[in-house]
């Protein structure tokens, strides 16, 4: 089977690998849709980690003796290699499981460890059924396209009474526009890239701003009777976007951090938290028990054709990465069989 590897020079090779296996409660999935997240950043940074991609949907082709799925089942893969049995996994917030499986120890190979390939293997706990009426491509949007911002809005309890700010309109943030709309919230979206801002406007964001120009916090205050937004969801994954969320949110409001970021963010407890009473929360994907609700978004939103901007063959992954790097795409789906 074909699998993407990064040689470390900013290019992508598709190499032949052995098939992964389905021991115990694991299953092998023929991947039919690979939504791209931020893999391009690692590629261009010279990363050579074999785990490329964490989103996939497809059809089960082999199931272990204790698997909860059967060959023929259409499934969307949840990220992580969570154990599926501990207290945290049972709570539904399995992303925070401390007992992740060691893929290489189980499989004896890195074939199928990432998702930019033709077959993956996963514990069946992480394979959720796609309803018959949904295509596999649509089911795949339960990955990072919609999952992280859905989870954030569940935690913040964003409703039709609220104004929500989404910072960063890349492969995760534009899904925040979908989720905010689905809840009938007023959506303010922020990104400096013109293509992304245009797409958010087309998707019906109530206001779109460039956070690198002028005084974006003052702009937010003008839009919210001087108060600030009720909630903010940072999908930019940079400290400027994060700080903007903290400053743009009203007293007693809430901020969810969704975008990965390894740089320290300056927060002043008295000014930012005690006086403002802000609720700050990190959110990594969504609670597995809420999958049915996320499916409602996928089934009923009329914005999903806009959320997916490109469907491309896996052989054109370098072109897909170039589009992402240029910030001229929404979600891109790869087909590993073309
Ligand atoms: Zn666990
Ligand atoms: Zn992702």
Mean pLDDT, rounded, for 64-81 = 98
How remote is the CA of residue 147 from the centroid of ligand 2, in Å?
9
Query: Phi first, then psi: what are they for 241, rounded to 5°?
Result: -65, -40
Q: What percent of the chain has pLDDT over 70?
A: 100
- Give the span between the Cα atoms of 223 and 29, in whole angstroms: 47
How remote is the CA of residue 258 from the centroid of ligand 2, in Å?
10
**Tens-digit pLDDT profile for residues 278-305:** 999 999 999 999 999 999 999 999 999 9
* 78 band by pLDDT with thresholds 50, 70 and 90: very high
How remote is the CA of residue 38 from the centroid of ligand 2, in Å?
6
Measure Cα distances from 60 to 22, 54, 74, 81 in Å.
10, 17, 6, 17
Helix, strand and coil percent figures for the chain, each rounded to 5: 35, 25, 45
How remote is the CA of residue 267 from the centroid of ligand 2, in Å?
26
How remote is the CA of residue 174 from the centroid of ligand 2, in Å?
13
Q: Are residues 11 and 139 in the same domain?
A: yes
Question: What pLDDT sits at residue 216?
Answer: 98
Q: Are residues 112 and 175 in the same domain?
A: no
Domain holding 15: CATH number?
A: 3.90.180.10
Q: Are residues 245 and 133 in the same domain?
A: no
Residue 238's SS3 state is: coil
Torsion sign over Cα 13, 335, 330, 114: negative
Q: Are residues 137 and 151 in the same domain?
A: no
Q: Are residues 163 and 139 in the same domain?
A: no
Residue 286's SS3 state is: coil
Domain holding 163: CATH number?
A: 3.40.50.720
Q: Closest ligand to 172 CA?
A: 2
Q: Are residues 151 and 272 in the same domain?
A: yes
Q: Are residues 299 and 219 in the same domain?
A: no
Question: What pLDDT sits at residue 116?
Answer: 98
How remote is the CA of residue 35 from the centroid of ligand 2, in Å?
9
Question: What pLDDT sits at residue 110?
Answer: 96
Residue 273's SS3 state is: helix
H/E stretch holding 177: helix 173-182
Q: Are residues 194 and 263 in the same domain?
A: yes
Q: Are residues 199 and 295 in the same domain?
A: no
H/E stretch holding 319: helix 317-325
Question: What pLDDT sits at residue 305?
Answer: 97
Q: Closest ligand to 86 CA?
A: 1
Measure Cα distances from 56 to 42, 77, 95, 171, 316 in Å.
18, 6, 16, 14, 17
- Name 174's Cβ contacts closer than 8 Å, sequence gap at least 6: 196, 199, 200, 203, 307, 330, 331
The Cα angle at residue 151 between residues 180 and 164, in degrees rounded to 5: 30
Q: What is the mean pLDDT of the chain?
A: 97
* 79 band by pLDDT with thresholds 50, 70 and 90: very high
Q: Are residues 121 and 189 in the same domain?
A: no
Query: Pick from 260, 282, 304: which residue ends a domain?
Result: 282
How remote is the CA of residue 125 from the centroid of ligand 1, in Å?
10
Which runs of E-coded beta strand occur in the chain? 2-5, 13-16, 26-35, 56-63, 74-77, 119-123, 127-129, 163-167, 186-190, 207-209, 229-234, 249-257, 279-282, 308-313, 331-335
Mean pLDDT, rounded, for 163-175 = 97
- Give the span between the Cα atoms of 138 and 135, in whole angstroms: 5
The model's pTM is 0.97
How remote is the CA of residue 148 from the centroid of ligand 2, in Å?
8
* 336 band by pLDDT with thresholds 50, 70 and 90: very high
Total domains, the chain? 2
Domain range for 41 is 2-144+287-335
How remote is the CA of residue 144 from the centroid of ligand 2, in Å?
5
Measure Cα distances from 48 to 2, 80, 195 in Å.
17, 19, 30
* 191 band by pLDDT with thresholds 50, 70 and 90: very high
* 30 band by pLDDT with thresholds 50, 70 and 90: very high
Question: What pLDDT sits at residue 137?
Answer: 98
Q: Are residues 238 and 157 in the same domain?
A: yes
Q: Which residues surround ligand 1, an ion (CB under 5 A)?
A: 82-83, 86, 89, 97, 99
Question: What pLDDT sits at residue 240?
Answer: 97
How remote is the CA of residue 206 from the centroid of ligand 2, in Å?
25
**Tens-digit pLDDT profile for residues 204-220:** 999 999 999 999 999 99
Q: Are residues 20 and 135 in the same domain?
A: yes
**Tens-digit pLDDT profile for residues 92-132:** 999 999 999 999 999 999 999 999 999 999 999 999 999 99
């Amino acid at each position: 089977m074909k699998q993407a590897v990064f040689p470390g020079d900013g290019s992508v090779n598709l190499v032949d690998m052995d098939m992964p296996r389905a021991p115990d409660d694991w299953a092998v999935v023929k991947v039919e849709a690979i939504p791209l997240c931020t893999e391009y950043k690692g590629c261009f940074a010279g990363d050579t980690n074999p785990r490329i991609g964490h989103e996939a949907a497809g059809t089960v082709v082999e199931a272990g003796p204790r698997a909860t799925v059967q060959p023929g089942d259409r499934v969307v893969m949840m990220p992580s290699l969570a154990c599926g049995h501990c207290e945290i996994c049972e709570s539904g917030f399995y992303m925070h499981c401390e007992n992740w499986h060691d893929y290489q120890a189980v499989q004896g190979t890195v074939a199928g460890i990432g998702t930019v390939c033709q077959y993956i293997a996963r514990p069946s706990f992480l394979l959720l059924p796609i309803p018959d009426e949904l295509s596999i491509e649509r089911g795949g949007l339960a990955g990072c396209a919609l999952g992280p911002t859905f989870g954030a809005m569940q935690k913040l309890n964003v409703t039709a009474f609220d104004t929500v700010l989404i910072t960063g309109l890349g492969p995760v943030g534009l899904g925040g526009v979908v989720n905010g709309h689905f809840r009938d919230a007023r959506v303010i979206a922020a990104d400096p890239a013109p293509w992304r801002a245009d797409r958010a406007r087309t998707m019906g964001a109530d206001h779109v701003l460039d956070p690198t120009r002028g005084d974006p916090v003052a702009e937010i205050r003008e839009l919210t009777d001087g108060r600030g937004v009720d909630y903010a969801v940072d999908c930019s994954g940079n400290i400027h976007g994060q700080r903007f969320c903290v400053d743009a949110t009203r007293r007693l409001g809430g901020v969810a951090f969704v975008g990965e970021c390894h740089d320290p963010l300056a927060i002043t407890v008295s000014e930012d938290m005690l006086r403002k009473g802000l609720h700050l929360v990190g959110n990594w994907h969504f609670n597995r028990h809420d999958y049915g609700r996320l499916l409602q978004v996928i089934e009923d939103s009329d914005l999903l054709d806009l959320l997916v901007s490109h469907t491309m063959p896996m052989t054109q992954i370098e072109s897909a990465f170039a589009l992402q790097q240029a910030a001229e795409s929404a979600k891109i789906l790869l087909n590993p069989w073309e």
